[in-house]
């Protein structure tokens, strides 16, 4: 079999990375693909970059829309997709030339699989500057409850997307892929990890993931737990262990910070300022 794969590439303010990402698509040894680039109302020159690739290969397609967020952009791209398998690819990330050749056959030969993923490398600047590696584990929803084992760029069946109603467009500040994988595996689908480094994630100081972890982690995790509460209730004992472990870790970190010399010096330096501020507020 050589099933058509639809690669969905949402792009917002990442035109400067887009060419590298699309080149990795063009390099695929698996040739039966289409690539739908979704311009999510990007204010940069995304349209100019895309025109080059549309002329280069007819398998590249283009969709422009008003900004709707990552989940919406992916959903709109998938609606236009003709492929039976779907691969989301962020505009600043890169896939190995053998990515589809390694992952697509897994879905073709195992009907119980809904998702196939792989090992990942994280890089700064260029692919030679690897700063971290990710080797996920597991195969069912239980393995996804507390840690997202699946990268956003994982291959899945379009029918899985249809079953769960697509990516949750209420999740505009991250973790939408994590919730999506839980929703799919909750239906009884399994996932499989290919133990090869076939995906490259670009790390940057400013990114949606960094913003999510720094500013929206608790809110988004609460949303996921609430939406899939039956899974967490069923796994209640582990859920409590994880929650109290995180609380203990946070408390230990807080105590270490307050006992640090830098904290004590900083508190001493700001003491006069706080004193005068209190006086002024009373006057």
Query: Do 260 and 200 share a domain, yes or no?
Result: no
Domain shared by 95 and 34, yes or no: yes
Residues 48, 167, single domain; the answer is yes
User: Quick one: 271 and 193 in the same domain?
Assistant: no
Q: Does some domain include residue 213?
A: no
Cβ atoms of 200 and 227 closer than 8 Å: no
- Binned at pLDDT 50, 70 and 90, residue 243 comes out as confident
CA-based max dimension of the chain: 80
| Residue 15 belongs to some domain of the structure | yes
What is the C-alpha to C-alpha distance for residues 191 and 95, in angstroms, rounded to an integer? 19
* CATH number of the domain where residue 105 is located: 3.90.550.10
Residue 186 lies in a domain: yes
Q: Is residue 229 part of a domain?
A: no
Is 220 a domain residue? Answer: no
Q: Of 158, 191, 206, which closes a domain?
A: 206
Look at residue 134 and give its three-state secondary structure.
Answer: strand
CA distance 82 to 197: 28
The whole-angstrom separation of Cα 90 and Cα 78 is: 14
Judge if 242 and 188 occupy the same domain: no
Q: Are residues 248 and 133 in the same domain?
A: no
Check residue 248 and give its pLDDT. Answer: 75
d(CA 226, CA 204): 30
Cα 270 off chain centre by: 40
Q: Residues 90-145: pLDDT tens digits? A: 999 999 999 999 999 999 999 999 999 999 999 999 999 999 999 999 999 999 99
181 token code pair? 């994988």
Quote the pLDDT of residue 241.
Answer: 87
Q: What CA–CA distance (Å, rounded) separates 202 from 276?
A: 46
pLDDT bracket for residue 56 (50, 70, 90): very high
Please check whether residues 30 and 79 belong to one and the same domain.
yes
Full-model pTM: 0.85
Residue 138 lies in a domain: yes
Domain boundary among 188, 206, 224: 206
Per the structure, how many domains does the chain have? 2
* Rounded CA Rg of the chain: 22
Q: Is residue 25 part of a domain?
A: yes
204 vs 19: CA distance, rounded Å: 17
145 in a domain, yes or no?
Answer: yes
**Domain residue limits at 23:** 5-206
pLDDT in tens, 244-275: 777 777 667 665 666 665 545 545 555 555 54
Report the candidate in 84, 85, 79, 42 with the shortest Cα–Cα distance to residue 61: 79
Q: Given 159, 191, 206, which residue is the final one in a domain?
A: 206
How many residues belong to the chain? 283
Q: Are residues 156 and 267 in the same domain?
A: no
- Tens of pLDDT along 133-159? 999 999 999 999 999 999 999 999 999
């Amino acid at each position: 079999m050589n099933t058509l794969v639809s690669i969905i590439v949402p792009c917002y303010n990442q035109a400067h990375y887009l060419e590298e990402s699309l080149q990795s698509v063009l390099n695929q040894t698996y040739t039966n693909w289409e690539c739908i680039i979704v311009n999510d109302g990007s204010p940069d020159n995304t349209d100019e970059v895309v025109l080059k690739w549309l002329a280069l290969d007819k398998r590249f397609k283009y969709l422009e829309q008003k900004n709707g967020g990552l989940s919406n952009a992916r959903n709109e791209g998938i609606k236009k997709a003709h492929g039976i398998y779907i691969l989301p690819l962020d505009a600043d990330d890169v896939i190995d030339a053998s990515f589809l050749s390694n992952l697509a056959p897994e879905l073709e030969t195992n009907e119980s699989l809904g998702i196939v993923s792989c090992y990942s490398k994280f890089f700064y600047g260029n692919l030679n500057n690897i700063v971290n590696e990710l080797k996920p584990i597991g195969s069912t929803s239980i393995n996804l409850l507390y840690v997202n084992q699946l990268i956003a760029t994982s291959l899945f069946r379009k029918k899985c997307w249809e079953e769960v109603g697509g990516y949750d467009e209420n999740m505009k500040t991250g973790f939408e892929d994590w919730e999506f994988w839980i929703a799919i595996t909750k239906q009884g689908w399994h996932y499989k990890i290919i133990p090869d480094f076939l995906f490259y994630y670009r790390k940057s100081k400013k990114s949606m993931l960094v913003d999510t972890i720094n500013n929206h982690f608790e809110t988004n995790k609460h949303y996921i737990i609430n939406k899939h509460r039956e899974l967490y209730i069923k796994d209640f004992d582990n859920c409590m262990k994880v929650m109290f472990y995180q609380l203990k870790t946070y408390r230990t970190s807080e105590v270490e910070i307050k006992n640090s010399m830098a904290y004590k010096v900083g508190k001493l330096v700001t003491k006069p300022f706080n004193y005068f501020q209190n006086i002024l507020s009373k006057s």
